[in-house]
């Protein structure tokens, strides 16, 4: 029924605003980038699986939309594609196709990397993220134009599409952009909460410890 879905959406929106209030966009994005790199270099399938679950939980906590079905579908596709080129010990056979161990583990690893990165990205990229410098203000300007386009898009009709699109472009453009620097200024004004930064720092350290841990343990 509509009621349950509405409640879920509201709960998600609440989580999302808490998450956005807790973490400054630049710190969250930097932490996400560092953790993604550590995740990429991680060799162990078991550790990768654990990190994947952590990323999934983070994405859920951040209030972003999460589709387990899509993840399973894509992962199944990746594993299936990798199984099509058999490598390693045969563990089963489906018709003419031999299911091999190395190909299966490779496929699982690739699927974990693919979907894991999707989730850590979802958790760490906030819409308010802006790059510094000239490129950053260019992107910010593009976003402002985008808001305008969405505002005016109702006026597009298929029959007179080109003329409508042209008018739309002129209208969006003519209104000028006085607010261009406001967005950049607003992003700088956020004070960094120490708790948030500590959390992020701990997460980054944990992901790199997971990299070094197996190596150190093997020595001893």
Partner 1 sequence: MGASTRSSTRAAERSSAERGRADVTALLGAFCFFLSAVEYMIPKPLPFMRLGIANLPILLAADLLPLPWYLALALVKVFGMSVISGSLFSYVALFSLAGTLTAALAMWLARRAFGRGVTAVGVSILGAVASNAVQMGLARVLVFGEAVRLIAPPFLATGLVTGAFLGVFAEIFVERSRWYARARSQVDGRG
Partner 2 sequence: MRLRPLDLAIGLVAAGVVAFSAIAAYGQGGGQAEAVIRGRDGEWVYPLTADRELRVDGPLGETTVVIRDKTIRITDSPCPNKTCIAAGAIGKPGQWVACLPNQVFVSVEGRGAGGGVDAIVY
Nearest one of 64, 177, 176 to 127, comparing CA atoms: 64
User: Does 105 participate in binding partner 2 (rule CB under 8 A)?
Assistant: no
Contacts of 156 (CB under 8 A, 6+ apart): 164, 165, 168
Q: Phi and psi for 5 in degrees, rounded to 5?
A: -65, -40
Q: According to CB under 8 A, which one of 3, 95, 96, 158 is a site residue for partner 2?
A: 96
Nearest one of 114, 126, 110 to 55, comparing CA atoms: 114
Q: How far is the CB of 178 from partner 1 (least distance, A)?
A: 13
Which among 6-14, 69-77, 182-190, 207-215 is the span making contact with partner 1, rule CB under 8 A?
69-77
**Integer Cα distance of 64 and 181 in angstroms:** 28
Look at residue 75 and give the partner it binds from partner 1, partner 2, none, a contact being a CB closer than 5 to 8 Å depending on partner kind.
none
User: Which residue pairs, CB below 8 angstroms and at least 24 apart, start in 89-93?
Assistant: none
Q: According to CB under 8 A, which one of 16, 44, 88, 148 is a site residue for partner 2?
A: 88
Q: What x-and-dash track marks residues 191-220 binding partner 1 by CB under 8 A?
A: ------------------------------
Nearest one of 17, 1, 30, 11 to 120, comparing CA atoms: 30
- C-beta of 131 vs 199, nearer to partner 1: 131
User: Does 184 participate in binding partner 1 (rule CB under 8 A)?
Assistant: no
User: Does 82 participate in binding partner 1 (rule CB under 8 A)?
Assistant: yes
Number of residues that bind partner 1 (CB under 8 A): 51
Q: Give the tokens for residue 76.
A: 């199944």
Look at residue 149 and give the partner it binds from partner 1, partner 2, none, a contact being a CB closer than 5 to 8 Å depending on partner kind.
partner 1
User: Does 41 participate in binding partner 1 (rule CB under 8 A)?
Assistant: no
- C-beta of 90 vs 177, nearer to partner 1: 177
Residue 16 near residue 64, CB atoms below 8 Å = yes
User: Does 163 participate in binding partner 2 (rule CB under 8 A)?
Assistant: no
Look at residue 117 and give the partner it binds from partner 1, partner 2, none, a contact being a CB closer than 5 to 8 Å depending on partner kind.
partner 1
Look at residue 143 and give the partner it binds from partner 1, partner 2, none, a contact being a CB closer than 5 to 8 Å depending on partner kind.
partner 1
What pairs with residue 99 in β-bridges?
92
Contacts of 32 (CB under 8 A, 6+ apart): 120, 121, 123, 124, 125
Binding stretches for partner 2 (CB under 8 A): 85-90, 96, 98, 100
């Amino acid at each position: 029924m509509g009621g349950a879905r509405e409640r879920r959406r509201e709960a998600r929106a609440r989580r999302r605003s808490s998450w956005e209030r807790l973490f400054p966009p630049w710190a969250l994005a930097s932490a996400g980038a560092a953790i993604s790199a550590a995740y990429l270099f991680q060799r162990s399938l078991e550790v990768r699986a654990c990190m994947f679950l952590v990323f999934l939980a983070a994405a859920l906590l951040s209030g972003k939309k999460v589709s387990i079905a899509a993840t399973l579908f894509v992962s199944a596709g990746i594993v299936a594609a990798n199984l099509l080129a058999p490598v390693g010990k045969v563990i089963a056979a489906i018709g003419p196709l031999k299911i091999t161990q190395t190909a299966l583990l490779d496929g699982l690893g690739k699927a974990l990397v693919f979907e894991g990165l999707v989730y850590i990205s979802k958790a760490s990229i906030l819409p308010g993220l802006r790059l510094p410098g000239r490129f950053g203000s260019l992107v910010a300007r593009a976003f402002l134009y985008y808001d305008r386009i969405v505002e005016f898009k109702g006026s597009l009709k298929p029959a007179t599409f080109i003329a409508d699109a042209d008018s739309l472009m002129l209208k969006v453009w003519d209104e000028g952009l006085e607010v261009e620097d406001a967005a950049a200024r607003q992003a700088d004004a956020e004070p960094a909460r120490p708790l948030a930064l500590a959390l992020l720092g701990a997460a980054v350290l944990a992901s790199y410890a997971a990299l070094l841990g197996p190596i150190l343990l093997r020595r001893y």
